[in-house]
Structure 1
């Protein structure tokens, strides 16, 4: 494909731990790349990809789609314009049902909730706070999935300390029962010097009781009258528009590497059971 066609952009959506080789191959052919978050599961791989993009003067985009998630986008706007004040503390929970690691993903043992889920929330708090993470203290638990032969944490809780003095607590699990009305549980609270915000994107304005009780996904990703819509689409549109020169990308290579460094620190922290400084 890279040799036989003139391409403007290639999207890489391989499993978390398999981004490096396809991304590098595209960059070496001097083609722009859009890769799903996280950019990599190793800091050194992320740095090599960014270096290759800069060397070949092409764009490397990471799809942090939740920056277009309406509640978080509105909150970011209010923080930016000063209405919310400085964010002092947040608690953000993004979890999945056990369907995801046991049935949806065949490679769940080669990743973790840190890379699969916290890559979203770590980016969100850093973006909303407008500050870098200084250190991380994280805890993990192995039991349910390990008993099923899947060697990955059931849940991870991470405490993030920012250079501006603020704190954030991130929580992700993927052992919620399949009877839960949504495959995703996504909630947050933010406390600022001037305001407080509570967000619940699990319930998206509709519930249906039939053979099952469910919360259908509406504004995240849906199809209506043969057309796909939702904020996951808008994040990709932003990247394409920025490539065409019509707007500025909501994410940068700096955002991508910062995200990987935070996730790496979280993993190291629960592994060695102590606080870890985030690599500068």
Structure 2
């Protein structure tokens, strides 16, 4: 969608300006894209940019953001140009004898112009709404999960409970076996000598939530005390944990890696020290991890 907007703006600039200014205008657009959108190189990731998406949902959120920003840029350029043209004609080049009280025409009516400035916003809003509705539907789409994880928020740590795990390596059937553990933030002394100290300070935890890639996962989030919010930006998910209620969400992670988040609801004095770490691994590694957890718990 963004390249189409660029082509349209470049075509408009060719009509309004000469070749030099058209090329300069298109160059500025490419610089804006390079800095903010990364359409031409999606591997680039600046510190102010979105996290690299690890789920189809987050990828859709980023694309929707880019589409809306491209509409905003088009509107900004059009309105700025009209304001400049008005300023140029009515102030910069007016003759000395220009009397605005006598020379300004009275109110005029142009049905075609009024129809166009009503129709164009309608199409722009329609494009935004259609993209938003499909994304909202995908957020709540219910697919039969292969794994259910219950997440409990506490002041100020997280608890993870796994349900429906394989109990033994000799059995390939999913049995109703559960295990759970708590996840705490690592203190500075735990890894201050590590090369990751500056980058992952206040984000590292002792036990991350481990999930398999390419698997439909259901998350059930609740709280044992006050309202918390389990949020991981790279996964495109944010679920509030409310005492006495279970809030549901779904994950389908495409890539392996460790993804960080934080509690996103003010929950007390140590709210800033309640990080989230999700480790997505291959299915075989996940099964090995499950067997290790069950053996330790048994």
- TM-score category (smaller protein): under 0.3
Q: Give the number of the structure whose alpha-carbon radius of gyration is greater.
A: 2
TM-score (norm 2): 0.23
TM-score (norm 1): 0.24
- Higher strand proportion: 1
- Higher helix proportion: 2
